Structure 1
Amino acid sequence: MPATSSIRVQTLDHVTIVVKDLERSRQFYCDVLGMEEQDRPNFAFQGSWFQAGDTQIHTILEFEDSGPAGDDGKKSTRAHHFAFRVDDAKAAAEHLKACGVPFVAGPKERPDGAVQTFVTDPDGYIIELCSTP
């Protein structure tokens, strides 16, 4: 492997997750988290795209070639998850509680003072909402 790479990653473009119900996922990502649904190319399989700042979440409706929807079942802040930066993770937690979103942990403060809240989406994927100190 070369000591230096000519590749320079610019940003995370998108995360793709397999879901069981596109509308239920749309409600969570748009109505609960405030993302905007985006136009999506006319793939041969069903799905939806949501914009979160510079990053997109791509959902694919579970089908024979997609793999299973949902996470591996381990509900821990140290399990597979993806994180979104928000203005105030504590305020976000209050909103999520009011919406009946299942919690994994938090809000809690990291050693550097950032605040983290961990919840699950409708398919059980763990999502972290974090805010800087």
Structure 2
Amino acid sequence: MVINMKLNKVHHVAIIVSNYEKSKHFYVDLLGFEVIRENYRQERGDYKLDLKLGDMELELFGIPGSPKRPSYPEACGLRHLAFKVEKIEEVIKELNGLGIETEPVRTDTFTGKKMTFFADPDGLPLELHE
């Protein structure tokens, strides 16, 4: 059997947030993502915000009453979202200046590259990877 689907890149990553305005502020005002589209879906009573992330999109869904994300011990599903950066120390300094705490920098044992984690308003782990 030959598989020829040509899945060659990620189009978007979707995140459900507990507080739409707080998460919009975090991703747009603090992290600097550009808004592509913002829609209120009356039939669902939720918000959908599409953000530009390089040549892909990050979707935020503000869905009232969504259950909290299981964290530790880690549950099946999205473990974290990693952003590639050029100079990790500069990005960390900028995040810290905005009041966003980061973990100490460590080296990825598989790639040998510097990395660290921080969290979004719902505790979703976000990684910086050099």
Alignment TM-score, normalising by the size of structure 1: 0.78
Q: Which amino acid aligns with 1:35?
A: F
What is the CA-CA distance between 1:40 and the residue it aligns to?
A: 4.2
Matches within 5 A, 1:27-66: 27-40=25-38, 43=41, 44=43, 45-63=46-64
SS of structure 2 residue aligned to 1:39 = strand
Matches within 5 A, 1:119-130: 119-130=118-129
Partner of 1:89: 88
What is the CA-CA distance between 1:83 and the residue it aligns to?
A: 0.7
- Name whichever of 38-47 and 85-94 sits farther off: 38-47
Partner of 2:97: 98
Q: Which amino acid aligns with 2:86?
A: D
CA distance 1:116–1:54, change in 2 (3 Å): same
Q: Are the equivalent residues in 1 in contact too, given 2:105–2:115 (CA < 8 A)?
A: yes
Report runs of 4+ in structure 1 exceeding 6 Å deviation: none
CA distance 1:42–1:100, change in 2 (3 Å): closer
SS of structure 1 residue aligned to 2:15 = strand
What is the CA-CA distance between 1:122 and the residue it aligns to?
A: 0.6
Q: Are the equivalent residues in 1 in contact too, given 2:39–2:49 (CA < 8 A)?
A: no
Once the two structures are superposed, residues 71-90 of structure 1 have per-residue CA deviations (whole angstroms, 9 ceiling, x without a partner) of 322288xx810111122122
Q: Are the equivalent residues in 2 in contact too, given 1:93–1:107 (CA < 8 A)?
A: no
Q: Are the equivalent residues in 2 in contact too, given 1:107–1:116 (CA < 8 A)?
A: yes
CA RMSD in angstroms comes to 2.3
Q: Are the equivalent residues in 1 in contact too, given 2:12–2:56 (CA < 8 A)?
A: yes
Distance 2:11 2:119 in 1: 21
Structure 2: stretches of 5+ with no match in the other structure: none
What is the CA-CA distance between 1:58 and the residue it aligns to?
A: 0.7
Structure 1: stretches of 5+ with no match in the other structure: none
**20, 23, 26: which one aligns with 1:25:** 23
